[in-house]
Structure 1
Amino acid sequence: MHALWIVRRDGVPMSKTVAKAVLVLDTLAEGPRTASELARGLGVHSSTAMRMLQPLVESGLLARGSDGRYRLGLRLAELGQQVLEGIDLRSVARPHLVALAEATRATVHLSQLVDDRIVYVDKIEGAATIRTWSRIGRSVPLHTSAAAKVILAALSPEHRRRLLAGHTFTRYTEHTITDPSRLDDCIAEAARRGYATDEAEFEPLVHCIGIGIPDINGRVGAAVSLTTVRGALDAAEVRRLVPHVRNTASAIAADLGHQSH
């Protein structure tokens, strides 16, 4: 029997089996599904869907929960990390981060959404003598970080709820946001103005401005943030610093292939 093929947008043929497997992965990226739900989305019988799903489960690309629903497997996280290392956002962004740190004498971070965590992937220490808690590879606190807020603001509501599901709103300072509805307001505000702030919410005296970095498809899964150490970050200073951070984010996005309109 001859294999059936379809043509991708770039003109390269792709087998229908592979195309359906990709559709399964894209569907499950939005949330768990039952075999019947996946079968309907694929336009195939449930038994056909099961035959397709089984090798994906065995390879670790998918996992089946106790409720019978399928979700993305941990193997995808491993492969995703390898892809990130191959694309190497960090090496693309680093010269821009260094330039921002030198221009502002502030500490600069690069954060990225990896699987269901937002992590620090690079850090350029500024001229301040106080060192911050952040470390490369460490998870970004979702309810305090400017970078996390601006990335969360760019996600679909469902994806955002999944990341925040079960999140503990630990109080770190007197300014920490501990009310989920207040965080929702901050995320909405970040979406409206195009940047987010951390006003001494995780560490006393530490203030941050974060701006998202769109990829070649316009999706925001990373952010650059500027960290200053001082008693307060007033409105005038925010207006002065935001363009520096925005220009850096735009330059990184351009190097990643994003075309602004």
Structure 2
Amino acid sequence: MMALPISFWEITQHMVHYTKPSLQKHIIRILWMVPIYALNAWLGLVFPYQSIYVDSLRECYEAYVIYNFMVYLLNYLNSEMTLEANLEMKPPVNHLFPFCCLSPWEMGHEFVHMCKHGILQYTVVRPVTTFFSFVCELAGVYGEGEFRGNVAFPYMIAINNFSQFIAMYCLVLFYRANKEELKPMQPIGKFLCIKAVVFFSFFQGVLINILVFTGVIQSAFGISDDRTIKGISNRLQDFLICIEMFLAAVAHHYSFSYKPYVNMLATQQSCCAAFLAMWDVSDVQRDIKEH
């Protein structure tokens, strides 16, 4: 009730003051993260035993948000300079742990290409693993919250975790290479907003599943029925997300503010055009096809 009005207000203001489409299109997509997570969590509270089905949209959208943040940074830098030419004049960026033994990527086109590649793989991997999780759940072999070798859950967690780590690693590497150029748009706060929502929800869910697997939740609530335990663990995750999305909405309001784009002298597109541009995913399709 508190998160949605804050998010919808910010989204509406960006659409009203749609003066920089190349940047604001991606900001609006990022801002939709909070309403989607909040509504998803509320539906999970109402229908706890069907939460895996409503979680599918949230899980796919988080990958989409990371991709949009990367493109937002690229468009910002390209509007100020020729990014690849500027990178070619810089010394190579050394890899971070645990990839510090790898040779640095060649600065310029290759560096941008590899960073985009690392982020786009998550945009593809996450929907694919979500689809397989959905199929496994229908087949009765998903085993949510069970860390056993004969169910799909631990394998899906490992694949998603590794894919997400690679995406975030490439994002950090890209920031290190363009730290000075990105300073005016204060990327740290924006990055932390996205990272906090994605990581907290993911690892929070993993932690709750570990507590279920080790019997902590059962002891705390004094229950033994598997179906009841699953319902409580799902409700606990969704309840925490509902609270966290209010905090995220406030953080997004300040980090992705519409105020820098208020310019009465600039040519503005209509709200309808801004709304339609937000749903046009041809740029995502083009990048995935390219990579």
Query: By percentage of residues, which structure has more strand?
Result: 1
Under TM normalisation by the shorter chain, which class is it?
Answer: under 0.3
TM-score (norm. length: structure 2): 0.24
Query: By percentage of residues, which structure has more helix?
Result: 2
TM-score (norm. length: structure 1): 0.25
